Structure formats: structure tokens, C-alpha cells
Amino acid sequence: MKEQLLLLVELQECDSQLVKIAGKKKTLPEKMEKLDEAFRTFQNETERNKRKYDEAKARHGECENKIKKINEGIVKTKERLLEVKNNKEYQAMLKENETAEVTRSDVETEILAILDELEKLSVLVKQDQATLNEHKQKYEGERRLIEADLDSVDADFISWEQKRAELQGKTPADLLAKYEKIKKSNNGIGVISVWKAVCNGCHMNIPPQLYNELQKTSELISCPNCHRIMYFQNMDKSA
Ligand SMILES: [Zn+2]
């Protein structure tokens, strides 16, 4: 390839890489944020049974406290029974203890139901924990990949920038200005390959005579449609 054109092709490669890497610098943190968010949601959903379990455990504790208080009340009433003066008072205290015993029985029934619930929930919690662990491993693996990408992005950017600076130093000023101008008006692509008479930038056909000339001449030829500087590239060989 002609020396001038080769410089432009290499410059284009640098510029395209720099745009690609800058894009990654922006999208990778977004990708990471989405991944974190998805995991947090999954974790929150998977821990629903755990929250039910904790809530049942708290109710169980409350019931145990109720029983303790009822028992203390019954003991006190029994002590007071020894000091009663009349039958009416005596009957009232017996009634008080009967009511307390009925309440205690209700609470005990509630405790049995809660214990049953806790047993069922603990099975589910174990299953959820296993699912979450599996999911967590996958999530952490994906996160490490993004982190590694992010680490390499900065180093890549610097190395392409250095390469570009070297090429720019070798490129004649008028040629560089021409390339920059065409690139600016063509979405960052100023130099484009042509194969089988088709411009890879605008995908239009190149007239046969121009296509022939492109393969022979040392002049810089622009695409008649998109005005990008063209170079012939045999895609069969380069593939
Ligand atoms: Zn074109």
C-alpha cells in the first residue's frame, strides 16, 4: 500500500480503537451497576422466607413471655388464696385462675402452630440459601470479568494514544488536516476499505473505472458517495 495511505489507515485504526475504548469506559460501569442491582433484587426476593422465619421466631418469643407472665400470675393468685377472708373473694380468685389457664392453653396452641411454621420455613430457608449461593457465585464471576475489563481499558487507551501520537508525527500536516476534516463529517471514519467495488463505509457501489484505478494508482481517491478516502482491501486474503 502507498505510504501516505498506510499512515491514514493506521491513524484510522487508532482513532476507531480510541472511540471504542472510550465507549467501554462509559458502558462498563453501567453494566456493573445493572449487575449489582439485579443481584440485590434477587437476594431480596430469596430472603423473603428468611424474613418470615425471623418474624415467626419473634412471635414465638412473645408467646413464651406471655406464658411466663400467666404462670407468675397464677402463682400469685394461689398465694393470695391463702389469705382470703370470704367465700365470694375465694370464688373470684378461682375464676381468675381458670380464665388465666384458658388463656395459657390458647397461647400454647399458638406456640405449637408457630413451631410447625418454623419447621416448614427452615426447610425453605435452607433451599433458598443454596439457590442464593449458586447465584452469588455466578454474579461474582461476572463481576470479576467486568472489573478485569475496566482495569485493561485505561492501559489500552494510553497505549493507543501513544501509537496515535507517533503516527501523527509522521503524517504530513496537509494530509492530516484532510483526514481530520473527512473524519469529522463522517461519524469518525475518514478512511475506509473497498472490496468487490463496494465502499464499506456507505455500502454503495464504486464505478468500475474508479475501482480499477483504486487498485493501481498512488493518488488518494475518495468515495464518490460518502467522500471517505478509500483503500482496496482483498477480504478473501485478509480473512
Ligand atoms: Zn462510501
Mention every residue, 6+ apart, whose C-beta is less than 8 A from residue 33: none
| Average pLDDT of the chain, as a whole number | 95
Question: Structure pTM?
Answer: 0.67
pLDDT at position 1 is 63
Q: What is the CA(174)–ligand 1 centre distance, in A?
A: 22
Residue environment code for 53-62, b if the CB has 16+ CB neighbours within 10 A, otherwise e: beebeebbee
Q: What is the CA(184)–ligand 1 centre distance, in A?
A: 15
Q: What is the pLDDT of residues 120-129, one digit of tens each?
A: 999 999 999 9
Q: What is the CA(26)–ligand 1 centre distance, in A?
A: 29
Query: For domain 18-170, is the CATH number 3.30.9.10?
Result: no
Burial-class residue 192 by CB neighbours within 10 Å (0-12, 13-18, 19+).
Answer: buried
Instruction: Give residue limits of the domains in the chain.
Output: 18-170, 174-238
User: Could you give the CA distance from residue 15 to residue 163 in angstroms, rounded to a whole number?
Assistant: 10
